[in-house]
Each structure stands twice: as C-alpha cells, then as structure tokens.
Amino acid sequence: MSPDASSSALASIARPAAVGRTRWVILGLLFFATTINYVDRQVIGILKPTLSTELGWSEIDYAQIVFYFQLAYALGYIGIGRLIDLIGVRRGYFLSVLVWSVAAAAHGLARSAFGFGVARFALGLGEAGNFPACIKAVRNWFPARERALAAGIFNAGTNVGALITPFLVPWLTLAYGWPAAFYFTGALGLVWLMAWWAMYHNPEDHPSISKAELAYIQQDVEPPAAAMPFGQVLQHRATWAYAAVQFLSSPIWWFYLFWLPDFLHRSHGLNLATLGPPLVVIYLLTDVGSVAGGLLSSFFVARGVRVLTARKLAMLVCVVCIFPIVFAAQVQSLWAATLLVALAASAHQAWAANMFTLPSDTMPRSAVSSVAGFGGMIGAVGGMGIAQLAGFVLQATGSYVTLFWMVPGAYVLALVLLQVILPRGSATDSRVAA
C-alpha cells in the first residue's frame, strides 16, 4: 500500500466529523455509563483478598458469588436486550442503569457469601442492559464506517472503569471501610441517569442535531421499525455467529476482570495498597487496544474492504497478539507478567470493538438489541463456566498456568466459527462507499 493510499484511507475515516458532533456527545454518554458499569462490577475483585479474610470466604465461595452474577447477567441479557428493541434505547437503558446502581450500593449491606450472592445477582440483571443498549445506540447514531471506532470508544469505558477502580476502591476502603466503596460507586450511576434522560434521543428526534449530520448518519441506517419477532431473529445465521463468538471470547474478559487482582496477589505478593500500578498499566494499554481495534477495521473499510471481512482481519491481528499470555504465570518478574497480560487484554478489547459491531453490521436496526442480548446471554453462560473452572483449578493447583494456557485457543476457535457461519461474500458481507 502506497503512502498516498494510506493517507487517503485515514482521511476518509476522519473527514465526516465536519458534518456535526452530536453523535459524539451521545457516544460520550455511552462511554461514561460503560465506565461506571465496570467500576461497579470490579469492586468485588479488588476487595476479594480483604473480604475473604474478614468474611472467611473460600475460593469456592468467591467462585459461587461470581457465578451468581454471571447467571443473572445471562438472564438479564436476553430479557433486557429484547426490551430495548421494544421500548427503545432511552427508556431501556435508563431502567438498566437504575437497577444496577441500586444493586451495587446494596453490596455494602451484605455480610455473608449468600448476601453478596443476592446483591451480585441483582447487579447482573441490571448490568446486562449496558452492551445491548450501547450497541443499539451506536447503530442508531453512526454509519457503518464509524461503528467499530464508536464501539471501541464506548468499550474503552470498560478499561477506564477498571483503571479507576484500583485507586478509588482501596482509598475508600482504607479511609471509610469496604461498605463505603460499594455505596459510593453505586451512587455514580444515579448521577449519570439525569444526564442521560436530558440528552438522549434518537437522531431523527434530537433537538440539537443538524440536517447535515442527520443525513450523514442515515446514509446506511434504515428508519425506525417495529421490533423483529424473536423467532425470526433466531433464524438468522448472523445471530448464531455472534453468539458463538461471544460464548468463546467474552469469558476470557470475565476471567481478567475477576481474577487478575488475585493473580497478582497470589503470584507476586501484591496487596490492596500495591495492586494499583500493575492494574493501571494493564488497563491503560487496554484503552489503547479498544480504540486501535476500531480504527484498524475502519481503516480497512475506508480502503474498500467489505465490512465483515474488515472486522475479521482486525480480529485475526488480535489473535496473534493474545498468544504470548501463555507465559504470564511462569515468568518471575512482576512487570514481565504484567506486560504479557496487558498485551493479551489489550488485544481482547481490540477484538471486542469489532465483535460488538457484528449485530449492527449484519442485522436490521429493529433486531440489533435482540441479537446483542441473545449473544450476550450466551457469552454470560460461558462466563459462568469460566467462574466455576477458575475456582476449581485454583483450589486444586494454586496456580494460574493452566488457565493462561487455555486463553488463546478460545479466540482461534471463535474466529474459525465466525468464518464458517458467515463466510466471505455472504449476504451480510457488504461494502460501504468511501
């Protein structure tokens, strides 16, 4: 590829910003909600050593608490994804954030593994609405050429949330006790709700959007329509392709989220006061990966590569970057282990930026949240499995070696299944005009 061609392709990605910025304001709301979502769910991972000591949890107790979150997350995904298609993003997302924020604060009242399990179950039900709502909002507000970048940006909120939490939670815990960490983080979502209700509307109804930006957004976005019957949603190959990719790859992110603090504590002796720097490095790099993954496939699309093919090429690059994690549990250096995990986690987020666009790339607007919810449910079922597997492997071996060796194979199989179910040149593999 010549330098001129590269410059032209990159310019075609950036140039449309001139038509207006309202869609980026909406994306900012999605980013901040996703950040809060991940702050709320990661608090328990940061506090695991503290809570295990104070409340007498075993590895199996913790695995069960995570399992209950995943179970509710799976049930909530399928329900709220469908609900968002029926009642719209504005009301559906509001309800989701309200439920998860109240549930997050309720953790501060629990004093037993059972009590935490109940709170985690409620948290999972509410948090399940985040990604179906964000994916549908991106479909509503962005044309195909910008969707992977938009998905990468809102998904970067997961990393920012995971970045903030190692500093915020230890400070709150050491200053005010561990219940305060849950109360404060739960309250963040209630503040966000006011901004969401005031600022979010569909593009065609938004009071601040320009005619030029509306026309740009709607160039390959069909107008609103009644929700597709769910039985019809399940008949599409794209639904099952997305579900397969979610089932195999999403549990790896759950594994990072809930077990990385424990890995650093168990393997390198870090405690609540010293976990921060390695986790900051990991999640800073995952922010880079999240946005870079979206830019990479958008670059391919701008050069005339078919949309689905561009997503697959970007995901293949991610798979290559994930393989070195197999050595993370065997190196002696804290920072070598940190960088190996950071590379894999960053590649996962780049992968996710492209994975999250699959429903909007391959399905009608009226079915996007339903597909996202169904796939998310399947991914959460996989997360339930990884929670049980990690608990039993660690209880039996006390080592992360086996778990890290399993990681790359999940992505390889996911990419193979995506290609088998939705091969190049299929009806969903469309071109987007540059």
Q: What is the pLDDT along the chain (434 residues), one digit of tens a residue?
A: 444 443 444 344 445 555 778 999 999 999 999 999 989 988 988 888 888 888 888 877 888 888 888 788 888 887 887 888 889 899 999 999 999 999 999 999 988 888 999 999 999 999 989 988 998 899 889 887 888 888 888 888 877 887 788 888 889 998 999 999 999 999 999 999 999 999 999 888 888 888 888 888 887 656 666 667 878 888 899 999 999 999 999 999 888 877 888 888 888 888 767 777 888 888 888 888 888 988 898 889 888 889 899 999 999 999 999 999 999 999 999 999 999 999 999 999 999 989 988 988 888 877 887 888 888 888 888 887 887 788 788 888 888 998 999 999 999 999 999 999 998 755 555 544 33
pTM score over 0.85: no
DSSP helix, strand, coil percent of the chain (3-state; round to 5) = 80, 0, 20
Are 227 and 392 a contacting pair, CB within 8 Å? no
The rounded distance, in Å, linking the Cα atoms of 403 and 166 is: 23
pLDDT given at position 301? 87
Count of beta carbons in the 10 Å neighbourhood of residue 268:
16
Boundaries of every domain in the chain: 20-421
Joined tokens for residue 315: 């995901």
The pLDDT tens digits for 127-152 are 989 988 998 899 889 887 888 888 88
For residues 118 and 310, what is the distance between their CA atoms, to the nearest angstrom?
Answer: 42
CA distance 305 to 431: 7
Tell me the two tokens of residue 293: 């993954």
pLDDT, residue 327, reads 95
Dist. CA 86–CA 385, nearest whole Å = 30
pLDDT given at position 353: 87
Class of domain 20-421: mainly alpha
Helices 48-55, 237-268: axis angle to 10 degrees equals 70
Using CA atoms, how far residue 334 sits from 271, 287, 323, in Å, is 13, 21, 19
Res 49: pLDDT: 81
